[in-house]
Amino acid sequence: MKIAVTCENNEVFQHFGHTPEFAVFTVEGETILTKELLPCGDTGHGALAGLLRAGGVDLLICGGIGGGAQTALAEAGIDLVGGASGNVDEVVAAYLSGVLAVRGDFRCHHHHHEEGHGCGSHSCGGGSCR
């Protein structure tokens, strides 16, 4: 199984569509076999699900994520756990152990980002994006 986590500086990045990279873990049972970083480059919201699918990802763990991205992931056959935060290695270990604590209000409700707009200036389902 492959688990991707939105990532910046080894922490869960809180806005799926703007994540700079994914930490991709290959796991077997509760054991992490490998960890690789998958850079997103200029890939936007719409293409990230395809990037993950092409990488063989089965599950995405993230902070905040919008409805369109959730739909794209579902169509790509990728399961989703939203509302996570913290160190990506610890988050995956907690998920595998069945003790990952997440926020229930992880859905981003904005529709676009204007020039100069940062994730800190709006709310993603009640939780700050950044």
58: CB partners within 8 A, 6+ apart: 1, 2, 3, 78, 79
* Three-state SS at 110: coil
Q: Per mean pLDDT, which of 44-48, 65-69, 81-85, 124-128 is the most reliable?
A: 81-85
Please tell me which residue, 108 or 14, carries the higher pLDDT value: 14
- β-pairing, 11-12 with 2-8? antiparallel
pLDDT(43) > 80: no
**Site of tokens 């959730």:** 70
Average pLDDT over residues 74-81: 94
* Three-state SS at 65: strand
Q: What is the dihedral of CA 9, 17, 108, 25, to 10 degrees?
A: -50
pLDDT tens digits along 101-129: 998 777 765 444 433 334 443 333 333 33
On whether the CB atoms of residues 78 and 95 are closer than 8 A, the answer is: no
Q: Identify the CATH assignment for 2-128 out of 3.40.1360.10, 3.30.420.130, 2.30.30.790, 3.40.1440.10.
A: 3.30.420.130
- Every domain of the chain and the residues it spans: 2-128
CB-based contacts of 39-45 (< 8 A; 24+ apart in sequence): 44/17, 45/16, 45/17, 45/69
Q: What is the pLDDT of residue 106?
A: 76
Average pLDDT over residues 12-40: 94
